[in-house]
Amino acid sequence: MLRRRVIPCLDVAAGRVVKGTRFVDLRDQGDPPELAERYAAEGADEIVFLDITAAPEGRSTLLDIVERTARRVFIPLTVGGGVGSVDDMRGVLRAGADKVGLNSRAVADPALIGRCAARFGSQAVVVAIDARLAAKSQAIPTGYEVVVNGGRDAMGIDAVEWAQRAVALGAGELLVTAIDRDGTGRGYDTDLLRQITAAVRVPVIASGGAAAPADFVAAVRDGGADAVLAAGIFHRREVSIAQVKQAMAAAGLPVRHMEATA
């Protein structure tokens, strides 16, 4: 049976893992390859590596750090941040990523999703959607609006509609972040997750707001997420991956057990 994945996220700025609240007030949390290795040893099912300053700074992904990270772990690595072309994606894959996350550049140029999927397959294309609560309107019927640049810029489009469109264009997975929950510890936005998982067939990774093991359980059970992602609470060792998996298993959710020899 397919396992529900627990994914630590490395937000990388200037080559270091950082974590703040709502993408601001960044605090240093360590060296990306070192943290990735620690999480792999602790039972992480995948690592997400986001170069969070690439897009705002208008540059491509830090490939050397991606490669150093990829060489240290034998679990899947998804890399996002600053990917705006098929060539960018090729570079990130060749540096050792298994999947590539597209975010703001895909919002600006939706056809990018199709070009990347045609070249590398949908299974390698993860579209990251940052959403926040907004007044319901004709343009935003669900009340969840797509934002970019770490929540600084609202795009005036509906997050659930964008999710459906991204999948139609070729996205093989969605990473859905409730940006107004990110770093707040208020729990995942299970309503947002439920609306998106009900609208698409591709796997959905829940992100934003996790504070306790029960939050991860809720993202899967109530939100329908296939995978749950968190950053700060893992970096600060407030919650361990093992604790999350124990809570998920206790709730009857299938999780990967570490190898018998580990």
Active-site residue list: 11, 130
**How far apart are the two ends of the chain, measured CA to CA in Å?**
21
Verify binding: residue 252, other proteins, rule CB under 8 A. no
Verify binding: residue 226, other proteins, rule CB under 8 A. yes
| Least distance in angstroms from the C-beta of 172 to other proteins | 5
| Least distance in angstroms from the C-beta of 6 to other proteins | 10
Number of residues in contact with other proteins under rule CB under 8 A: 44
Dihedrals phi, psi of 198, to nearest 5 degrees: -75, -20
Verify binding: residue 95, other proteins, rule CB under 8 A. yes
| Least distance in angstroms from the C-beta of 27 to other proteins | 30
Pairing of strands 125-133, 144-148: antiparallel
CA–CA dist 116, 98 (Å, integer): 13
**Helix %, strand %, coil % for the chain, to 5?**
35, 25, 35
Mark 107-146 with x for binding to other proteins (rule: CB under 8 A) and - for no binding. Answer: -----------xxxxxxx----------------------
H-assigned helices in the chain = 32-41, 54-57, 63-72, 86-94, 104-108, 111-120, 159-169, 190-199, 213-221, 232-235, 241-250
**Which one of 12-20, 26-34, 72-80, 137-145 is the stretch in contact with other proteins (CB under 8 A)?**
72-80
Residue in the block written with tokens 């070009």: 115
Sole binder of other proteins in the list 172, 208, 209, 232 (CB under 8 A): 172
Q: Beta-carbon neighbour count of residue 12 at 10 Å?
A: 26
Sole binder of other proteins in the list 22, 115, 165, 256 (CB under 8 A): 256
Residue 36's nearest CA partner among 74, 3, 82, 89 is 74
Sole binder of other proteins in the list 3, 38, 115, 221 (CB under 8 A): 3
- Residues forming contacts to other proteins in the complex (CB under 8 A) are 1-5, 40, 45-46, 67, 70-71, 74-77, 90, 93-99, 118-124, 172-173, 201-203, 226-227, 256-262
